Structure 1
Amino acid sequence: MEALAMTAESGDSALAGDDAFSVVQLDTRDADDHASCLQHWRQRYDQLSAGLFSGKFEEFWFGNVQVFRERTNQVIHEIGSAWEGSRTVGVPVALDGTGWYCGEACGVDSLITLRGGDDLDYRTPRVHDVVAVTTDTQAFSDYATQVEHRDIEAEIGNRRVIAATPEQATTLRSFLLTVISSLEATPELLRHPQMRKGLEQAIYASLLTAINGSLDAARASTPGRGRQLIVDRAREYMSAHIDEPITVADLCTELEVSRRTLQYSFQDILNLNPVSFLRALRLNGVRRALKSAEHGHAAVADIAAQWGFWHLSHFAADYRTMFGELPSETLRNTGSGANRAAC
């Protein structure tokens, strides 16, 4: 098993100096070794097809979430269980046939799930590539209740394979792969708590959207005056926390409304959704931080992460659209110091 980067706990070529997150990237040559890659899971992998085994594993763990991707090239029988108090949701990236997950057929557009402590029993096809999130059940449930007003554990129940449309599976798959590619490029930005918080909430929102196939998407019935009050209260809260990277989840929790109600209220009153409104505030926060950087010495990526931006290329594009220049150009204009991390 060849380690490309190990967790801080292991001590092997770790990203040192911070125990708030861990990164594991491994190439494996044995199914049994591959089974031991996933932290805090109990697993055994038996290779069922003939041939040399080759696997690749990536894991990023921060806050309440464990995001991972694993790829194998042989038919494997996986048994075991996830850590107690967890909920896992995954979606295949590529399969060369049908897998059998806890007695049910699993295709490329299937959402698979596992509750911590329940038995995992999975026979993979020969080519198997899956991306997944394991998270603290209570944290995920609290987010679903406070932000979406949903009892997500009751919705999932005892299901192991969740019905989803191809569009929902594709959206979740693309999002999780983007998360992993972004963290591969800049894992050190996970040292910023604002980055971890924003990314955790984005992952929860994406999971809830993918599991939302059977729910009524009718417009929330909040009277017009009620929507004005919601927007007013939201703006008051934003003004009082102008120097913080506020999220939609923060607003839903503070105002005790669902994401949908908040969405319709902003759309009706301001003709702008709350995500766009908050993004504009955060972009302005970044701009102020860049302009006040002493002698222009700062890392654009670090300042962006402090304001909750985790996808740096999207951030740079949004910044340029908003202000007509790249963040690195704003930074250069604050003094003669060279920008050490231009976007």
Structure 2
Amino acid sequence: MTHAAQPDDADAHFSYALARSDDAHDHACSLQHWKQRYEQLSQGRFTGEVEEVWFGNVQIFRESTNQIVHEAGVAWEGSRTFGIPLEAEGEGWYCGEIFDRNSMLTLKGGEELDFRTPRKLDILAVTADMQVFSDYAKRVEGRDIEAEIGRQRVICSVPEKAEELRSFLLTALNTVKAAPHLLEHAAMRKALEQAIFGSLLAAIGNGNGQEVARPASTSETRRQIVNRARDYMRQHVDGPITMADLCAELNVSRRTLQYSFQDVLDLNPVGFLRAMRLNGVRRALRQAEEHVSVADVAASWGFWHLSHFAADYKAMFGELPSETLRAGSVRRLSVPSG
């Protein structure tokens, strides 16, 4: 049984699908753009479920099975997959290695999948365009992520980082499931994609387990970076800017931008950007008709986590975004015509 929010169409902004099956072979065929073959190894009735969302350069999926299965196949060409178990009952093998709940499993597009699952498995995964992800890692974090991963198939992550990634991906998937139409907004797709990339990089670590040294720069250099960043923000005040946009425009890493803002303004650049975007939402809500959805306005400014958005908005302006929307509508109705 399959449910889809959008057709599998290259021109569609997004797609959401949920497939349930009682046969391992059918289950293997339910994941889009993967070529897979599943063979059930343990005795008993098979039940499986795949929930997936596609947008931009990213495929997020959650897959659950209740029997020991051997999985073989390949992901789509040019991709890199990262998976992290939500639940694993029993021992499993991935490409010849034992893994546990805090392991990140990775697979490069074109490489052969060789996975013997535990008796019960519930796993979250992201498959992304490898070049886009690598470019993001280089531009924002100054990291050669493919060199860091090398030939690893199982990446050990500290429990706290693994749990953060697990929680983040589950929240992202549930957000899209609740309101998939919000992915029609390019700003939300962009913000969510970059948030996913950032979460993956945090879970992988910096590649050598050592603290990265603070970049050496003069106070004048840091001041120039902050001035250029603020100029760019002002010039694009009517659009949702991301940290990746700033890093690309200024040709600096996130870390350099972070230290520059802290040293010059004693302010976090992420917080500065969030404040700008919140003000953008507020302007839009004050000008919008009452029938306009707050969620759509927030998504158009790149806010994908709506509960966090509402809390940040109230903390900034002392009222909920829905109150701003209603007040704006009442104010316009009260203005005499002519």
TM-score class, shorter-chain normalisation, is over 0.9
DSSP 3-state at the match of 2:77: coil
The alpha-carbon deviation at position 136 of structure 1 amounts to 0.6
Q: Deviations over 1:201-241 (max 9, x none)?
A: 11111111111152533323222222111111100000000
Distance 1:6 1:215 in 2: 44
Moved over 4 A (4+): none
| Aligned 1:122-133 pairs, distance under 5 A | 122-133=115-126
Distance 2:237 2:198 in 1: 23
Q: Structure 1: where are the runs of 5+ without partners?
A: 11-17, 338-343
1:4/1:27 contact within 8 Å kept: no
The alpha-carbon deviation at position 4 of structure 1 amounts to 2.9
Aligned residue-pair number = 328
| Aligned 1:52-91 pairs, distance under 5 A | 52-91=45-84
The equivalent residue for 1:267 is 262
DSSP 3-state at the match of 2:33: coil
Distance 1:335 1:23 in 2: 34
DSSP 3-state at the match of 1:262: helix
**In structure 1, what residue type is equivalent to 2:179?**
T
The alpha-carbon deviation at position 7 of structure 1 amounts to 4.2
| Aligned residue among 95, 99, 106 for 1:102 | 95
2:286/2:329 contact within 8 Å kept: no
**In structure 1, what residue type is equivalent to 2:52?**
E
Q: Deviations over 1:166-215 (max 9, x none)?
A: 11111111111110111111111001111101110111111111111525
| Aligned residue among 314, 318, 325 for 1:324 | 318
The equivalent residue for 2:152 is 159
DSSP 3-state at the match of 1:162: strand
| Aligned residue among 43, 56, 72 for 1:50 | 43
The equivalent residue for 2:129 is 136
Aligned residues: CA RMSD: 1.4
Distance 1:301 1:154 in 2: 39
Q: Deviations over 1:285-337 (max 9, x none)?
A: 0000000114x331111100000000111111110111110000000001249
Q: Deviations over 1:23-73 (max 9, x none)?
A: 111122111111011111010111111111111211000000001110111
Q: Structure 2: where are the runs of 5+ without partners?
A: 332-338
1:6/1:25 contact within 8 Å kept: no
User: Is 1:302–2:301 an aligned residue pair?
Assistant: no
1:42/1:82 contact within 8 Å kept: yes
**In structure 1, what residue type is equivalent to 2:4?**
A
The equivalent residue for 2:220 is 225
| Aligned residue among 273, 288, 292 for 2:287 | 292
Distance 1:41 1:176 in 2: 20
The alpha-carbon deviation at position 6 of structure 1 amounts to 5.5
Distance 1:320 1:7 in 2: 34
**Structure 2 CA distance for partners of 1:6 and 1:191, relative to 1, 3 Å:** closer
The alpha-carbon deviation at position 122 of structure 1 amounts to 0.4
| Aligned residue among 231, 234, 241 for 2:236 | 241
The alpha-carbon deviation at position 96 of structure 1 amounts to 1.0
The equivalent residue for 2:196 is 203
Moved more, 284-293 or 205-214: 205-214
**In structure 2, what residue type is equivalent to 1:54?**
T
DSSP 3-state at the match of 2:122: strand
**In structure 2, what residue type is equivalent to 1:134?**
T
The alpha-carbon deviation at position 154 of structure 1 amounts to 1.0
TM-score, with length taken from structure 2:
0.94
2:136/2:197 contact within 8 Å kept: yes
The alpha-carbon deviation at position 254 of structure 1 amounts to 0.5
The alpha-carbon deviation at position 119 of structure 1 amounts to 0.4
DSSP 3-state at the match of 2:329: coil
Distance 1:224 1:88 in 2: 41
**In structure 1, what residue type is equivalent to 2:274?**
R
1:97/1:107 contact within 8 Å kept: no
DSSP 3-state at the match of 1:333: helix
**In structure 2, what residue type is equivalent to 1:32?**
H
The equivalent residue for 1:13 is none
Distance 1:133 1:144 in 2: 16
TM-score, with length taken from structure 1:
0.93
DSSP 3-state at the match of 1:218: coil
Distance 1:92 1:221 in 2: 39
